[in-house]
Amino acid sequence: MSQRRKTRELGRGERVLPGVWRLRLPLPWPGVPHCNAWAVAAGDGVVLFDTGMHQPGSMAHLERAMDMVHLRPELIRQVVLTHAHVDHCGQTTPIVLRTGAPVWGHPAHDHLTKWLKDPDAYWERRVEVALQCGVPEDPVRAASAALRHDDLGIAGSYSPDHDLVDGVVIDTDLGPFVTVETPGHAPSHVCLYNAERRMLISGDHLLGRVSLYFDYGYTDDPVGEFLTSLDRVEALDARLVLSGHGRTFTDVDGHVRANRLLIADRSERCLQAIDGAVPGESDEGRTPFEMASYVMETEVKPVNGSWLLAEVLCFLRHLEVTGRVRKVGTDPDRFALA
Ligand SMILES: [Zn+2]
Ligand SMILES: [Zn+2]
């Protein structure tokens, strides 16, 4: 499917269960064509879990998706955010302006919101991280200039009216959804679990198609946090997952296992890369840039480089914390086996 075709995708709504609707909202990202917001019946309206990203026309996509299932934005009584990534919270402000709905979100949202106050700092930090990884300066500056844009996918900033932390309950007609903090993918990530229905709103913590992403640089060991969060979610014994992208799924244990396996595999590839599977400029250790293609099994390009390097840095940090690698250089970072 061509890029042009993808960008024409429209918002679509479908009923998953009585009182639960999937609102499938388009995204402009290659390989990630849409995200889900979930509407759940609550009294005379709905609770909206996540909002979709803000882009030109994005509110019309939300309206269209809701209209397909006989809902409308005016019925939104609460906005509940699984995490502060723009594809999940980008439309918070327009929805609040339109509906007056209060917002629930995890207090550690400044990994996103601080950059909204200073977008220049956001782009500069991407450059710094790339340089720290050993990417040559000229291509980094060129890629940054080419990719840089003012539209970060969110309409204004937001600050939750209510903290969404462990144990906070969101009441719905299907019973209470209880907040479970699940950092790792993002510092602000939570899942919401309905024990009566064994139903989990999982955001990006568990996705139908296993795909890892960790925010680098805000907490000490995102991979370690993610693994702990997987343990927490596994213990819930959910049987239906409403995830932030893709269709619902039921095989929770299988998905948890697949995530652990992928982390183990990427970690092993880091160790192999350091141990000589990739060439390096220095006799001692390898830079994240030297390892990235091998570890992530894909070519590093300007458009995906920032993401791939952040992931490799997160794996290396986890290996460092767990005593398997050590940092042997800092300008750029180089890692050797411990
Ligand atoms: Zn996310
Ligand atoms: Zn997402």
Where does the chain have alpha helices with state H? 3-7, 58-68, 86-89, 92-99, 110-117, 119-132, 137-147, 222-236, 252-272, 288-296, 302-321
Domains 3-112+152-258 and 265-337 share a fold: no
How many Cα atoms are found within 13 Å in the side-chain-facing hemisphere of 95? 35
Residue 113: DSSP 8-state = H
Distance 85 CA to ligand 2 centre (A): 7
List CB-based neighbours of ion ligand 2 within 5 Å.
Answer: 87, 204, 244
Domain ranges within the chain, ordered by starting residue? 3-112+152-258, 265-337
Low-confidence ranges of the chain (pLDDT < 70): 1-8
Closest ligand to the CA of 35: 2
d(CA 266, CA 286): 15
Distance 87 CA to ligand 1 centre (A): 7
Distance 86 CA to ligand 2 centre (A): 8
Q: What pLDDT sits at residue 127?
A: 93
* 177 Cβ neighbours under 8 A, 6+ residues apart: 40, 80, 169, 170, 171, 192, 193, 194, 201
Q: What pLDDT sits at residue 232?
A: 98
Query: 3-class SS at 119?
Result: helix
Distance 245 CA to ligand 1 centre (A): 9
Distance 180 CA to ligand 1 centre (A): 16
Q: Which residue has the tokens 């019946």?
A: 41
Distance 185 CA to ligand 1 centre (A): 6
d(CA 173, CA 41): 6
Fold of 265-337: Arc Repressor Mutant, subunit A (1.10.10)
Closest ligand to the CA of 215: 1
Q: What pLDDT sits at residue 3?
A: 46
Distance 173 CA to ligand 1 centre (A): 27
Q: Decide yes or no: CATH 3.20.20.70 for domain 3-112+152-258.
A: no
Closest ligand to the CA of 85: 1
Query: 3-class SS at 70?
Result: coil
Q: What is the pTM of this model?
A: 0.95
Distance 329 CA to ligand 1 centre (A): 31
Q: What pLDDT sits at residue 8?
A: 62
pLDDT in tens, 167-176: 999 999 999 9
How many Cα atoms are found within 13 Å in the side-chain-facing hemisphere of 208? 14
Distance 206 CA to ligand 1 centre (A): 10
